Amino acid sequence: MATPPHPTRRGKALNATVSQSGGKWCVSIQTEREVDQPLPHGEAVGIDMGIARFATMSDGSYLEPLNSFKKHQKRLQSGRSMKQEPTEATQAIAA
């Protein structure tokens, strides 16, 4: 049976999950709806931090990810520390 449209409901309900935790009941509703792309105005810039792209600006430009893990992956796999070996001066202080 199809649900008739409701004047204040925006979009379509896809899934509902009811759960109980600590004596309280919770309902989580997953919905889907079409949203118009907001148009930028003024000089303000929004930044979206992500995984595939490090940062995407509201004007559509983006920065590539830093990939610091890939940069240090071999050193991490070999078990070597990223710190330098202690010098004679620091060994004398520690002794």
What CA–CA distance (Å, rounded) separates 14 from 30?
6
3-class secondary structure, 61: coil
State the average pLDDT over residues 24-29. 93
Among the listed residues 29, 39, 36, 91, the one whose alpha carbon sits nearest the alpha carbon of residue 60 = 39
If you search the block for the tokens 């709806």, which residue do you land on?
A: 33
CB 59 within 8 A of CB 43: no
Residues 49-74 pLDDT 10s: 777 778 887 777 888 777 777 777 77
Query: Quick one: tokens of 69?
Result: 């893990």
Q: What is the pTM of this model?
A: 0.33
Nearest to 29 by CA among 19, 37, 41, 20: 19
Average per-residue pLDDT for the chain:
77
